[in-house]
Amino acid sequence: MAASATERKTRYGTAQPNIVFILADDLGFADVSCYGRRDFTTPNIDRLATEGVRFTQAYANSAVCTASRVPIITGRYQYRLPVWLEEPLSTRTPRKIGLPPDHPTLPSILKKAGYCCALVGKWHLGTLPEYGPLQSGYDYFYGFRSGAVDYFTHKSGSAATSAEDLWEGDVRIHRPGYLTCLETARSNSSKATPQAASLSSSVFTSMHRIGLGRRRATRRSRNV
């Protein structure tokens, strides 16, 4: 998590920084060059490590994606919420389950402090109409709701039969392009966080399904 250099004063006179949170779903310790990767480089991530803090020891709350993101958004051990028991969380799950909309979350708490909160990328904490980013405190959402999608078709199942799993807010949309590039462009857009103080959360899945379209994707991700 990184705070931008631009800070604004609240009515109490304290600094109110913008917050940029970037999560690479299923990224391994040595998958970026500042941690030892040698067959490709990640100069922009390395710069964040050089100018910020590079941790050499860390603890992940879970070894799987949904359960590891539950504590990030709630600040609680994932075992305290039923949603972590369903891994992988899918549409085939026999009962409706997800992150309860009335449960306090990082964005819902920040909204009370005047923040505009956006999530770009992966949700996968429950399906509509009961669950979703907008139901759990975010003001804006652009991304997909399932566990993973094809980077080019934006579908989580068969390219011939499945519906595209790309959303803006609670509306399914069609946008041609490579998913990570679309998400990055939207993360950089003022449309995601137009207000003064903002929480911008980006959850990328390039490491989650790295085999999809590898040749085309590799050409696009050499300078991450």
pLDDT tens digits for range 47-100:
989 999 888 887 777 878 888 889 999 999 888 988 877 777 776 766 788 999
Query: pLDDT at residue 209 above 70?
Result: no
Domain containing residue 43: 2-220
pLDDT of residue 28: 77
**CATH number of domain containing 120:** 3.40.720.10
Decide which of 85 and 102 is more confident.
102
Q: Tell me the pLDDT band of 217, cut-offs 50, 70 and 90.
A: very low
pTM over 0.85: no
Query: pLDDT at residue 1 above 80?
Result: no
Distance CA 145, CA 90 (A): 10
> How much of the chain, in percent, has pLDDT values that exceed 70?
79
pLDDT of residue 30: 81
Active site residue 65: yes
Residues 116, 117, 124, 208: which is the catalytic one? Answer: 124
The two three-digit tokens of residue 220, written as one number: 């696009």
**φ/ψ bin of 36: left (φ > 0), alpha (ψ from -120 to 50), beta (otherwise):** left
Decide which of 196 and 75 is more confident.
75
Number of folded domains in the chain?
Answer: 1
What's the pLDDT tens digit per position in 109-125?
999 999 999 999 999 99
122 residue type, one letter: K
Task: Extract the runs of DSSP E, i.e. beta strands, from the chain.
Answer: 2-9, 15-24, 116-122, 140-144, 167-168, 171-172, 198-204
Residues β-bridged to residue 19: 3, 199
Residues 65, 117, 154, 208: which is the catalytic one? Answer: 65
Active site residue 181: no
Alpha helix locations (H) across the chain?
43-51, 65-74, 106-112, 179-187, 214-220
